Amino acid sequence: MLLHVQYRMHPCLSEFPSNCFYEGTLQNGVTANERQSSGIDFPWPVPNRPMFFYVQMGVEEISASGTSYLNRTEAANVEKIVTTFLRSGVVPSQIGVITPYEGQRAYIVNYMSRNGSLRQQLYKEIEVASVDSFQGREKDYIILSCVRSNEHQGIGFLNDPRRLNVALTRARYGIVVLGNPKVLSKQPLWNSLLTHYKEHECLVEGPLNNLKQSMVQFQKPKKIYNDRRLYLGGGQGVMQGSAFGTVGSVDKRSGRGKGHPFVPFGPPNGAHKPGVHPSGYPLPRMPYPPFPGSPHSQPYAIPTRGSLHGPIGAVPAAPQPVNRNFGAPRANTGGPIGGHLAAHQQNSQQAMGSVGPTFNFAGDPSSQPSGGGLMSQSGLMTQDACPRS
C-alpha cells in the first residue's frame, strides 16, 4: 500500500521522494507556510527551499572496529552545522543526525562532545543514529552524512533505495546532506538526487557563512542490470514495481524516465545460454507439467510409475518382448512409427495386475505385489490427452 498524502515534510522536501519513490503520486497535506520556522536564522542557500547538498571531498577511513567506515571531514562539518542550528535558535531535540555507518555515528558523537564550541550538554542531547533506527520517526531538522568517498570501492549501504527514501523523508522543516558527488553520482538514483539539488541551486560548497554553488562535475552513472534475485527476496535491493527513474529526463538508450524503473529488464549481465538457468544450473530438456493433474505439454506418452519404476525398493526384472514398454525390444520392426506407444497407452488403462513387469524385492519377498499393476500419478499422460498414431 503506497502513501498518497504526507503531512510531515515541507513541500520542497517531498518533491524528489514523490517523483522517485511514489511515481509522482504523493500529495502534500501541509503548505510551505506551515513549514516555515519562525525566528530561525539559518543560512539556507535558497531561503524558500530549506535544503542543500553540502559538497565534501574528505576521504573515508575504516573505523577502529575494522568493520565500518568513518569520514573525519564530514564529521567536522556536521558539528559546524549542528552548532549553527543551535545558535540560530533550534533546540537540540529538534535536530537529528543520520548516517548509515556505526563507525561514523560513534565518531560524530565523540567529535561533537570534544570539539563543540557550545556547552557539551547541548551536543549530548542531539540524537545521532543510523538510517534504520529512524524508520517511522521524524525530526524538525535532519543532517545526513553519507561517509563514502573513494575511487573504486563503491558506496555500500547507500546503494539501497529504501534506505535513501527513509533518510530523505524524516525531516519536517529542513535537511542537509553531506557527501562526495563524484562518488555518489556513479549510482543512478543518487545521480538523480544530485541533479535535482543542482537544478534548484542547492548543491553548494565553501564555509557555512558564505556558501556558493558547486561546479563539480558528476560521474556518468553505471548501468544496472536486472537480477531476479532482487525481485525474489534474495537480499537487499530494489523490489519489483518500484520506480526510481531519473527525474525530469529520459535516457534514449534505455528508455527510462520519470515514473519508470531505472533497472532495465532482461537477463543478468546480458543474454545467457539457451537451456541454462541464469543462476547456472542446466534446465531439463523434457518439460514438466505446468501443475499437478494437468496434461503434458508435449504430444508423447509417459509411462506410468507402476510400469516404469515400481514400488520403492523394488528391483525390476527384465522386460518381456510382449510388453512394449520403454526400453523393451520392438517385436515388429516394420510397424508404424509410434506403434509401440499406442500399445503402451492401451495397456495403461487396463485393470490392476494385468500390465507391467514383476518386481523382485531384495528384502521381504512376501511384500511383492502381484503383477506390478498400474499406479496412478498426477500429471502423467493418458490416452485421452494424447492422440494415437
pLDDT in tens, 208-248: 999 999 999 888 887 654 444 443 333 444 444 444 443 44
- Residues 111 and 75 sit within 8 Å (Cβ to Cβ): yes
- Residues 70 and 107 sit within 8 Å (Cβ to Cβ): yes
- Of residues 180 and 290, the one with the higher pLDDT is 180
**Pairwise CA distance, residues 53 & 45, whole Å:** 10
- Mention every residue, 6+ apart, whose C-beta is less than 8 A from residue 203: 52, 53, 55, 181, 194, 197, 213, 214, 216
pLDDT in tens, 88-102: 999 999 999 999 999
Task: Average the pLDDT over 133-154 and give the result.
Answer: 91
Given the C-alpha cell 547456472, which residue does it identify? 280
- Residues 56 and 77 sit within 8 Å (Cβ to Cβ): yes
Residues above pLDDT 90, as percent of the chain: 47
- Of residues 73 and 344, the one with the higher pLDDT is 73
Task: Average the pLDDT over 64-68 and give the result.
Answer: 91
Residue 15 DSSP code: H
Task: Average the pLDDT over 148-159 and give the result.
Answer: 84
Backbone angles phi, psi at 173, to 5 degrees: -110, -35
Look at residue 363 and give its three-state secondary structure.
coil
List domains and CATH numbers for the chain: 5-222 (3.40.50.300), 295-389 (no CATH)
